[in-house]
Homo-oligomer: A and B are copies of this chain.
Amino acid sequence: MTEPLVWQAPQPERADAARNRQHLLATAREMLAEAGPERLTMDALAERSGLGKGTVFRRFGTRTGIFVALLDDAERDFQEQMLGGPPPLGPGAPPIDRLAAYGEARMRFLMDNRDAARAALLGRLPVPAGGLPASLSHTHIRMLLGLIDLGPADLTVLTAQLTAALDVPLLRYLSATDADHAADQVTDALANGWRDLVRRVCRP
Q: Which residues of A contact B (CB under 8 A)?
A: 121-122, 125-131, 153-154, 156-158, 160-165, 167-169, 171-172, 175, 189-190, 192-194, 196-197, 200-201, 203
- A190: B residues at CB distance < 8 A: 157
Q: Smallest CB-CB separation from A196: which chain B residue?
A: B153
Q: Give the shortest distance, in Å, between A68 (CB) and chain B (any CB).
A: 15
| Closest B residue, CB atoms, query A192 | B154
Give the number of times this chain occurs in the complex, counting copies: 2
Asked if residues A164 and B160 are in contact (CB atoms below 8 Å), the reply is no
Report B-chain residues with C-beta under 8 Å of the C-beta of A127.
121-122, 125, 128, 171, 175
Question: In the complex the two chains form, is A160's CB within 8 Å of B169's CB?
Answer: yes
Which chain B residue lies CB-closest to A169? B160
A162→B168 CA distance, assembly (Å): 10
Q: Is the CB of A126 within 8 A of B122?
A: yes
